[in-house]
Structure 1
Amino acid sequence: MGLKAMLKRSAQLFDDQQYAITLMNGMGHIEKINKYFKAEKVIAGTAMIGTVLNDAGDVDFIGKKGTGTIHLVNETEKPDKFTKQVVSEFKKAQLGPKLTTNFLGTLLTKVIYNSVVNTLCSMYKLKEGEFISASVSTKLINRLINEAYHVCDLAGIEPLNSKEEEFNAIVHATRDVTPLHYPSMYQDISKQRPTEVDYINGYLYDLGKKYHYNAQAHDFLRDLVHLAEHAEIVTQ
């Protein structure tokens, strides 16, 4: 949420030889980064690794070592030597890096995942394993995935996973990989910080509107998350 201000504060430290590597949730961050870094110097990605940020530089990793994955993609969709070096270093760290050449599809794959797991778990203060054990979880996952993939189809974006693969990925991650994990959105709500829901569910809804499609479940969830933010403040 503070990316724009952070980039502005740090601008004097940047030069045209540096790369920006971003693994942020949601959408909207690339446009901010491009004000300081050319597309040729931007490596974006998504991380399927549960963590808890206790403090600056103090991170707890959730789940078994080596079970997480990171997808990396150049904004230009043309991997260069430096990008391959990053992948090599991430492999040494057992972060499970995978290099793709599908920029928007890579980012939207994680947005779709977060639009289901982050929002629903966070609103009801559920661990991921508690969410997937609910009898209604399958229905909720499918409804949100179907809306999101219809939006992507309209926009000409191809996520990395098919709808079936994305459903299975959500079930596997929440049930087998990080069942004890609270999503980052929950951590924001519990600390009375604004969430990134406008850049996740809100992004999908807004993108659908451009093509005259109403992704109403995502719009409804966006409002409910904002209500959860408000409730956390007023009930303390």
Structure 2
Amino acid sequence: MKIAVMGAGAVGCYYGGMLARAGHAVTLIGRPAHVEAMRRQGLFLEARTFKEHVPVVATTDPEGARGADLVLFCVKSADTASAGRALLPQLAPDAVVLSLQNGVDNAERLRAVLPQTVVPAVVYVATEMAGPGHVKHHGRGELVIGESPGSAGIAEMLEAAQVPTRVSDNVMGALWAKLLVNCAYNALSAIARLPYGVLVQGPGVNDAMRAVMEECLAVARADGVTVPGDSWAAIEQIAKSMAGQYSSTAQDMMRGKPTEIDYLNGYVARRGQAHGIATPVNSLLHTLVKLLEG
């Protein structure tokens, strides 16, 4: 299969690299420093069970997506619409776009600019760009993708590439379940500049996270979304399974990059306001991160 990755950062490089390693033709569309490194030596994929240079095509131009059967759409949430418009002239009518992004409304916003099939996905992976063209995998890696005519085939292809994938008939619930965890951890990790395992030991942190969770659940219910599973157990598990991980928001702030906080705690605050639901903790965390970001 011919695959393009729009937004070849840590997430895009990991999944694109795994697919390229499985024999698919993968084009990574990313920033110049990473592209130059990958053109010289391929993508250096450092997983927990292997380290290898994976041959890929790399470019800074969205034209790299021309003729792709599948596009892994991995840009930051703030860039969803503009990146979608850049892709539009390149995509075949039957191409499928898989949104591997934080937040819950990216697929909806992407459908507003692309006529192709857009499938939302929930991403559970800990990765980082450890250097130009070098992606480091810290843990997990599974995907939950929404239903579409091609979803079963995409899931089968990803499974064959050692990416655990399942198709869900409640992908919005799964997206909200991930959003809950992000809202509980991302801002606090960024403000304190602490990894998850240390963060949760702080006084009052568990109470703050529980309050974030309750606000998120109230807003999700008002939006008509059923969030599956035990949300608090999922929050607690993250500190155990990713104890040394800093949130993506913390990583962005430490690198002086814009964060996605508007699409995490900020999104919950906006949806709460639309429904007349108070979200004081999410609103405060959003405000604090925006102040620090500025």
Deviation at 1:201, TM superposition (A): 0.7
Partners of 1:20 and 1:160 in 2: how far apart? 25
Partners of 1:68 and 1:10 in 2: how far apart? 26
Alignment partner for residue 137 of structure 1, among 205, 210, 221?
205
Alignment partner for residue 181 of structure 1, among 245, 254, 274?
245
Percentage of pairs with the same residue: 20
Matches within 5 A, 1:42-81: 42-54=118-130, 58-63=134-139, 67-74=140-147, 79-80=148-149
Partner of 1:4: 81
Deviation at 1:56, TM superposition (A): 6.9
Q: CA separation of 1:134/1:98 partners in 2, compared to 1, >3 Å: closer, same or farther?
A: farther
CA contact (8 A) 1:105 1:157 kept: yes
Alignment partner for residue 13 of structure 1, among 87, 90, 94?
90
Q: CA separation of 1:56/1:34 partners in 2, compared to 1, >3 Å: closer, same or farther?
A: farther
Deviation at 1:160, TM superposition (A): 2.3
Alignment partner for residue 257 of structure 2, among 184, 189, 193?
193
The count of aligned residue pairs is 217
CA contact (8 A) 1:127 1:179 kept: yes
Matches within 5 A, 1:1-236: 1-38=78-115, 41-54=117-130, 58-63=134-139, 67-74=140-147, 79-80=148-149, 82-161=150-229, 165-175=230-240, 177-230=241-294
SS at match of 2:144: strand
Instruction: Name structure 2 gaps, 5 residues minimum.
Output: 1-77
Partners of 1:172 and 1:216 in 2: how far apart? 25
Say what the alpha-carbon RMSD is for the aligned residues: 1.9
Partners of 1:119 and 1:217 in 2: how far apart? 11
Partners of 1:127 and 1:173 in 2: how far apart? 11
SS at match of 1:144: helix
Deviation at 1:212, TM superposition (A): 1.0
Deviation at 1:115, TM superposition (A): 0.5
Instruction: Name structure 1 gaps, 5 residues minimum.
Output: 231-236
Larger radius of gyration: 2
Partner of 2:22: none
